[in-house]
Amino acid sequence: MYSRTEMTIHDLAKIIIEKAIQKGVVIALAESCTGGMICTALTNISGSSAVLDRGLVTYSNAAKKELLGVPDNILAKYGAVSAETASAMTRGALVNTSAASLAASVTGIAGPGGGSAEKPVGLVHFSCQKRGNIPVLEKHVFTGNRDEIRLKSSYTSLAMIFESMDS
């Protein structure tokens, strides 16, 4: 039985690639705080080109708007680190990637600076959506240093991708 904590990122990426090939799933990624780590985990696996269409690193608000179509009003009202922005990022990845049947996004504060009382370091919002379905959203506040937060964020996003392939 699959558990989110039982395997390495490499093992999780491998079973995602295998499962996506079997199911004909094509993936698009929109990453902010992970800076391409999720895409790297998938492309480290042979065969990933059959299922990974693209990975966009949209670190700035301008990139989120220009590449993913995240509306100004969402960024102004909720901020870049929010469920609303994560959802808009996923939606934009699907809208702009006709081949993709599943998209995932991540946006957060990896630290060590940039946090606040309302949005502390370690706060990360995730979205994963199959085309035609509503997005699955998660919010976590991870502990650790910048590298640990980014690694935990990448793992969580991969777990959501894996789980979404069965929904």
Instruction: Enter the pTM of the model.
Output: 0.96
Measuring CA to CA, how many Å separate 12 from each of 38, 70, 92? 11, 29, 25
Question: pLDDT tens digits, residue range 63-102?
Answer: 999 999 999 999 999 999 999 999 999 999 999 999 999 9
Residues 6+ apart with CB under 8 A from 35: 57, 59, 150
Question: pLDDT tens digits, residue range 113-151?
Answer: 999 999 999 999 999 999 999 999 999 999 999 999 999
Q: Is domain 9-164 in CATH 3.90.950.20, yes or no?
A: yes
User: What's the average model confidence in pLDDT over 105-111?
Assistant: 98
Measuring CA to CA, how many Å separate 46 from each of 7, 16, 21, 84, 151? 18, 12, 12, 34, 21
CA 155 to chain centre: 10
Please, what is the average pLDDT of the chain? Answer: 96
